[in-house]
Structure 1
Amino acid sequence: MVWQFFNRKKASTFDENVRAAREAGGGISLPVQDTRAAIEELSQVVKNDPEAVEIYLALGSLYRSQGEIERAIQIRNSLIVRPGLDRKFKARAWFELGRDFRRAGFLDRADKAFLEARSLGQDPTAIHQEMARLAAERGDFEKAADSYGQLNLPLPQAHYLVRLALDRFSEGNNSQAHRALRHAIRAYPGAVEAWLEQIVQAYKTGNATKVADILGQALEHVAPDLRFVLFEGLFLAANRAETAKQTSFGEENEWSRVCNDEKLVNAILPIIERQDPDVLLLYYGAMFLLRLEDLENAQSWLEKALMLQSDFWMARLELFELSRNDQTLTPFYKEQLSFFTGRARKVRRFFCRRCGLKRDQLFFNCPRCRSWHSIAFRTDISE
């Protein structure tokens, strides 16, 4: 195998606006730190000055951030029914009440609260963003994508077009599904979830050449720090196909026509070799080689990954596994090693660059802080 990783020019064809697009998600980040002390202090101020509407509104938001939705709702309602309350404050109270209801899962009530806030003059853009989120939470992904498009927020627009495509695939309407994926990439060329779904669909048809072609295009457009998502997603798809084959008892299913591992690996490894040196791409290349039980080449790829980052714990774990069979160990020692390596494999590999949330599954919108495309791989186990 020919290696040309360490003398290549850096590619720069991915979307130059990726940073701005990530910031344009429209979600409000929840505070990570404890806000209990602030809540108690503001509560005392409000008791002493019942007319402090701004503080009242802030207090309600603090309650919501702590998950105390009922108390937040009580605060909004107490403002709404206050005689003589300024129209702009009443509009804000209705708006925050809508956000409280949405957080609690009362989507119909949230809808009505936002409409009331709009009628009172609340910022229409803020209302539009909340209505877009409501559509997404209801599962109306077409409406959500359209709303985010009108707001000129291409990243969430693309994300919900992908969600729409998944719905269409499940319904058997493949032509509309592929159309939605193409629309997602046009809207936001760096949409890693759209490229990944195109790759998985090509894999399901058994077309390894098409997989490689789409993967090559995706690597040109997706931000470098998100490219690992493409390989993780494809690797998971290959695992799902293998599981489906073992449990289908010969019956036809959506994974029945996938390309075999040898064709897949032979198609994607040259794509990886053409990229700039990247520790995660080398790691995933090794993992695909392990599917073929090509231990020698897998070891070589893992060693090259460690040349780029010596403390990359996943590469070291796989190299350790490859060398275990060559060691003479007592049964007790083998049992202990198996226990610790098994525990190490359960360490959550992904985290959010914005808030630090750790997960063992891919995510495109952080479940905690709602940041878009903030996922990262924990190459250093201390991260």
Structure 2
Amino acid sequence: MAWKLFSRKKSVGFKKNLKAARDAGGGETLPVQDTRAAIEELSQVVKNDPEAVEIYLALGNLYRSQGEIERAIQIRNSLIVRPGLDRQFKARALFELGRDFRRGGFLDRAEKAFEDARSFGQDPTAIHHEMARLAAERGAFEKAADSYGQLGLPLPQANSLVRLATDHFNEGRDSQGYRALRHAIRAYPGAIEAWLEQIVHAYQAGSLRKVADILKDALNRVEPGLRFVLLEGLVQAMIKAAREHSEGEIGPWANACSDADVAKTVLPVLETQEPDVLLLYYGAVFLLRVEDVEAAKEWLEKALVMEPGFWLARLELFDLSKENQTMTPFFEEQLAFFMGHARKVRRFYCRRCGLKRDQLFFNCPRCRSWHSIAFRTEFSQ
């Protein structure tokens, strides 16, 4: 009976919205306006033809993509208990129910739903993938890494190994932590999170030579568009160490390298790379941490030559130059206000879905894409 539904006259955009609904099954969040339009369209169709199983499944995916987990679960359950439902549709409904439960944080229920879906003939590879994600969300990172490895997915495998390494480090098992990081890089040489973790630990231990060697290798092996993550992560580590020292505490950053030593170590490494606007910008950031203003200006000016629209480099350069300007108290106050707000602009975004964030991420919190982070060199990004 469902096939008759598609022979009826549809309103403009129906096919587009149906495709969007099906695509939402992977946990991606669609643009709100398009998604709400699709929900309204499909809800009306389902109301007119409650036998349309495909539409029910698509509508449930849309509800999940919008975070309306309870409504998505209700739709799956209404299908699962339907008498005479084809095994194929029941398997899909159970599979999507498992995704709904996982999205809602009900991990035990999600596992049960996936096992039931398997028993009804759902694709075992898809089940295996979801089980790997469940293991990662439960903190069973070694199991998750093994599963991703079996699936031939080296990037999430490496990410799970890095998270496993973090657990080892937190529990004082450093040798196991370093081993997990090496395994992560072997699994995926471009694992930016593994390289960054190594750099931060070398910095924390006060080993400048290791910082330089690891950074040099990492810059040559990760995707060029992600190299800024290494430098941003190191800067954030330096900020944490400085905060600990200023508070007079003796904590995990007690042996960290000094800012001056880091600048002397990192800048020569950056100078060996091909000219890159973000490497130049971060070179200036390291110089500013040791108050070498004139050298920082030179690096920022080079960045602006490469990309004149790089707003943050222009902002920093203006801030360094304003002392040479004559301003009225009113103008200076307004300028400080606007610059303060400009510095709060979120610097990072997801290349796939456009999500903007203040902090680094390796897996987009919204669309779940891997290594999609980018630096907003222009406001329009």
Look up the match of 2:31.
Answer: 32
User: Hey, what does 2:6 align to over in structure 1?
Assistant: none
Structure 1 alignment gaps of length 5 or more:
1-25
Q: Does residue 204 of structure 2 align to residue 210 of structure 1?
A: no
Letter in 1 for 2:223: A
Contact conserved, 1:69 with 1:104, CA < 8 A, in 2?
yes
Instruction: Give me the whole-angstrom Cα distance separating, in 2, the residues matched to 1:41 and 1:219.
Output: 48
Question: Aligned letter for 1:373?
Answer: H
Aligned counterparts of 2:166 and 2:332: Cα–Cα separation in 1: 44
- Counterpart of 1:125 in structure 2 is 125
Following superposition, the deviation at residue 28 of structure 1 comes to: 4.1
Of 284, 293, 303, the match for 1:286:
284
Asked whether the equivalents of residues 27 and 371 of structure 1 are also in contact (C-alpha less than 8 Å), the reply is no
For 2:326, which of 325, 328, 344 is the aligned residue?
A: 328
Q: Secondary structure at the match of 2:374?
A: strand
Deviation at 1:85, TM superposition (A): 1.1
**Which residue pairs with 2:147 in the alignment?**
147
Distance in 1 (CA, whole Å) between partners of 2:48 and 2:332 is: 67
Q: How far did 1:46 drift?
A: 2.1
| Equivalence for 2:376 | 378
SS of 2:324's equivalent in the other structure is coil
Distance in 2 (CA, whole Å) between partners of 1:203 and 1:73 is: 47
Question: Who is 1:305 aligned against?
Answer: 303
Aligned residue for 1:351, secondary structure, equals strand
C-alpha displacement of 1:55: 1.4
The answer on whether the counterparts of 1:158 and 1:194 sit within 8 Å (CA) in structure 2 is: yes
Cα RMSD (Å): 1.3
Q: Give the whole-Å Cα distance in 2 for the aligned partners of 1:381 and 1:304.
A: 20
C-alpha deviation, 1:32, in angstroms: 2.2
What TM-score, normalized to structure 2?
Answer: 0.91
Secondary structure of the 2:94 match is helix
Deviation at 1:209, TM superposition (A): 1.3
**CA displacement at 1:334 relative to structure 2:** 1.7
Using structure 1 for the length normalisation, give the TM-score. Answer: 0.90
- Given that residues 365 and 372 in structure 1 are in contact (C-alpha distance below 8 angstroms), is that contact kept between their aligned partners in structure 2? yes
Considering Cα pairs closer than 8 Å and 6+ residues apart, tell me whether 1 or 2 has the greater RCO.
Answer: 1
Name the SS for the 1:216 alignment partner.
helix
CA contact (8 A) 2:27 2:65 kept: no
- The offset of 1:132, in angstroms, is 1.0
Which amino acid in 2 is paired with 1:208? L
> Aligned pair in 2 of structure 1 residues 290, 236: CA closer, same or farther (>3 Å)?
same
Q: Over residues 90-121 of structure 1, what are the superposed CA-to-partner deviations in whole Å (9 max), with x where a residue is unaligned?
A: 11111111111111111111110000001111
Which amino acid is 1:136 matched to? Answer: A
Shift of 1:331: 2.1
Bigger mean CA deviation after superposition, 200-209 or 41-50: 41-50
Are 1:78 and 2:116 matched, yes or no? no
Deviation at 1:177, TM superposition (A): 0.6
Q: Distance in 2 between matches of 1:27 and 1:274?
A: 41
The equivalent residue for 2:367 is 369
Cα deviation 1:184-225 (Å, max 9, x = unaligned) = 000000000100000000001111111010000001100000
Question: How far has the Cα of 1:297 moved from its partner?
Answer: 0.8
* 1-structure distance, mates of 2:238, 2:47: 60
1:233-382 maps to which residues of 2 (within 5 A)?
A: 233-247=233-247, 249=248, 251-382=249-380
**Amino acid in the other structure paired with 1:228:** F
> Structure 1 residue 82: deviation in Å?
1.1
Structure 1 consecutive aligned stretches of length 4 or more whose deviation exceeds 4 Å: none
Identity, in percent, stands at 73
